[in-house]
Structure 1
Amino acid sequence: MRAAVLFNYKEPLKIEEVEIEDPKENEVMVQVVATGLCHSDINVFVGATPVPPPVVAGHEIAGIVKKVGPGVTRVKPGDRVISAFIHPCGKCKNCISGHENLCETFSSVRLKGTMFDGTTRLRLKNGTIVRTFLGGGFAEYAIVHENALTVVPQDMDLQKVAVLGCAGITGYGAVDSAKIEPGETVAVIGVGGVGLSIIQLLKASGAGRIIALGTKKWKLEKAMELGATDVINTKETDPIKALKEVTNGGPDVVIEAGGTQETVQMAIESVRIGGRVVLVGLPPVSAQIPLRIAMIVRNGITILGNYGGRPRIDMPRLLELVRSGKYDPGKLVTGKYRLEEVNEAVKLLEEGEAIRSLIIP
């Protein structure tokens, strides 16, 4: 099969012929219809998320089940599916206690680029092992654990729902963990695929004022289209001062989806006394972010880290929100590219000129 392979950090991807093995215990081979391109993939390409190359990235996968391995019960060949970026084992303490988004088994192999057993299913023709990042969807086929997959109803467009695999389920987890009460004021820092998903889901959850913060005028306009009541361009004004002024002391909740030192500090410094901060954006794994601990303590600020929703529980709910028109993942897609054009899509995302691009084998 063909795949977009990263051989060295900070170099363009190369389209290569890659050999793929059959799925093993509880694994599924998916014929890829479309995969969304996310900033988490960019972090792999530049080495900020140091999955060892050669590696195939791509984790917002939509496709059709081609083969199933031994023990698979959740899907069958021919099923139309989407894959979450989280692959729960279903057996560890967190999985069985209802926190499969924090699967310990998955966490142990996530940055190694292997399956649960420590091996890979991809090889170059010369025998070189090829790793995958959260599924390896920038290819014609991908091998994923069955618990990452959700069957998509026949009347839904697979390309449209592909971005549920990360942007959607990450946004769902963020809003769910924030425990939004009706009418609360919420600020969302970052208006990429995750931030714009959060805004739609906040509107669906009954939040009151929804304030979007970002640096690109066209993305802030998109935020207003999708449910934001106010926008703040962080390049044109002091965002902390502006947030406190427009909310008379700060938002009840700030959800940070930018993943930088600046945006994390912005979130904590701008929330009201007694407020809640949900951290969703992923800085590089080596990032060190200083915090004013005394201010956090004195102001009684709650800081929550959230690593997405639960694939087997929350993905079906997301599909229902799509069906009801309360969440439209198609609004996040700003371009579609063939596998051979993947580097063009990467460049646009790095420059901030895309929200979500679909890579279509």
Structure 2
Amino acid sequence: MAKAAILHRYGEPLAVEDVEVAGPKRGEVKVKLKAAGLCHSDWHVIQGQLPLPLPIVLGHEGAGIVEEVGEGVTSVQVGDHVVLNWVPSCGRCRWCRTGRPDLCEEAARLTATGTLPDGTTRFWWKGKTVYQFLTAGAFSEYTVVPEQAAIPIRRDVPFEVAALVGCSVITGVGAAIHTAQVRPGSTVAVVGAGGVGFNIIQGAALAGAKQVIAVDVVDEKLAATKTFGATHTVNAREEDAVSAVLDLTDGLGVDYAFEAIGRPETMADAYNMARKGGMTVIVGIAAPHETVGINAFSLPSQAKTLTGSWLGQGNPPVDYPKLLDLYAAGKLKLEPLISAVYSLEQINDGFAALKSGQNIRGIIRFAE
């Protein structure tokens, strides 16, 4: 048996329950979780904005130790430290074969079904199947994932730090470096100073941007962005964010604008912050039914690029170790991202803090 946080009904708090966790089948890995991050994607599911089968164990940003491996597993062994990969690419579909594992068709199917590749899950509660979010189910003391969803990492990194690499870090840094390919000397605006936004900021700084403008509504978080490489801040509660960004760039707009909140109105703001011929990258996740309003004439007349970024357009088996090497070398700030640490039993307090905008990232630390 294991303790896990289960969502039974949309809009209600998670329930910490005793669940059965089956052993790994062929090609699967059982992981003892040590830490898991609280992400807005989980919150969207709780609120019913991303409808999935229920009941479900949420959590996708996790790190732990390999407890058991199934037949045929070769990439990890018992005792390895791993970070969970919530886009376990198949390596066979068109997107995987053309260098875009972040868009893997099989991983997208698993996201929608809440299952492992064989169509089942390894969680049971009172005799009922419990689904697992993004193949991970990281809000559990133990989980079972496909082999390609358990990425081995160096052992000298704290699990709380390593967990962040599984979503907020690869998504944010990757959006700046892989998707936008921010150039040295360029100008950048980042709308949303949360776990992902902070990492876009430091990704842009790593890439050599000369001006990085952080936009948010919480003064404390805006002040903290300076530590990660922001050169200017804009409080969108106190002034019009688009006008402020234009003023800071002599009326031109920025070379690269990023949205890391997931709201249609801030997505439109990010688009309007970009200069003619600039790029806007949407990283935040909105509900599937929502749409963004953009001036139609501006699309051809301003020749901007509008694109999205999923998992920072990354390749976790390659990028997780690289990001942790940057952290170990002092070039990537990860500890300051952790605003608060919670026990599994305190998970709803953590999501309340996430909703209020208090935390950059809250972390669940699992009991020994």
TM-score (norm 1): 0.97
Separation in 1 of the partners of 2:318 and 2:153? 14
One-letter code aligned to 2:149: A
Find the counterpart in structure 1 of residue 133 from structure 2: 133
| Deviation of 1:21 (Å) | 1.2
1:22-72 per-residue CA deviation (whole Å, 9 max, x = no partner) reads: 112322111000000001000011111111210111111110001112221
TM-score (norm 2): 0.95
Match of 1:285 among 272, 285, 288: 288
| Deviation of 1:161 (Å) | 1.7
Contact kept? 1:49, 1:111, Cα under 8 Å = no
Contact kept? 1:173, 1:307, Cα under 8 Å = no
One-letter code aligned to 2:354: L
One-letter code aligned to 1:191: A
Find the counterpart in structure 2 of residue 89 from structure 1: 90
| Deviation of 1:330 (Å) | 1.5
Match of 2:197 among 192, 195, 198: 195
Find the counterpart in structure 1 of residue 363 from structure 2: 358
Structure 1 stretches of at least 4 aligned residues deviating more than 6 Å after TM superposition: none
Between the two proteins, the alignment pairs up a number of residues equal to: 360
| Deviation of 1:286 (Å) | 1.6
Find the counterpart in structure 2 of residue 179 from structure 1: 181
Structure 2 unaligned residues grouped into runs of 5+: none
Separation in 2 of the partners of 1:86 and 1:293? 34
Find the counterpart in structure 1 of residue 258 from structure 2: 255
| Deviation of 1:152 (Å) | 2.1
Separation in 2 of the partners of 1:114 and 1:293? 40
Separation in 2 of the partners of 1:156 and 1:316? 11
Separation in 2 of the partners of 1:122 and 1:343? 21
Aligned counterparts, 1:8-87, within 5 A: 8-87=9-88
Match of 1:223 among 222, 225, 235: 225
Separation in 2 of the partners of 1:357 and 1:156? 18
Find the counterpart in structure 1 of residue 215 from structure 2: 213
Contact kept? 1:11, 1:45, Cα under 8 Å = yes
Contact kept? 1:148, 1:312, Cα under 8 Å = no
Find the counterpart in structure 1 of residue 155 from structure 2: 154
Structure 1 unaligned residues grouped into runs of 5+: none
**1:180 counterpart SS class:** coil
Contact kept? 2:327, 2:333, Cα under 8 Å = yes
**Residue 272 (structure 1) aligned with residue 266 (structure 2):** no
Find the counterpart in structure 1 of residue 3 from structure 2: 2
Contact kept? 1:27, 1:144, Cα under 8 Å = yes
1:299-322 per-residue CA deviation (whole Å, 9 max, x = no partner) reads: 000011110121122222211211
Find the counterpart in structure 1 of residue 99 from structure 2: 98
Separation in 1 of the partners of 2:244 and 2:173? 27
Deviates more, 1:176-185 or 1:287-296: 287-296
Match of 1:341 among 339, 346, 351: 346
**2:246 counterpart SS class:** helix
RMSD (CA atoms) = 1.1
**1:123 counterpart SS class:** strand
| Deviation of 1:119 (Å) | 1.2
| Deviation of 1:290 (Å) | 2.1
Separation in 2 of the partners of 1:32 and 1:167? 18
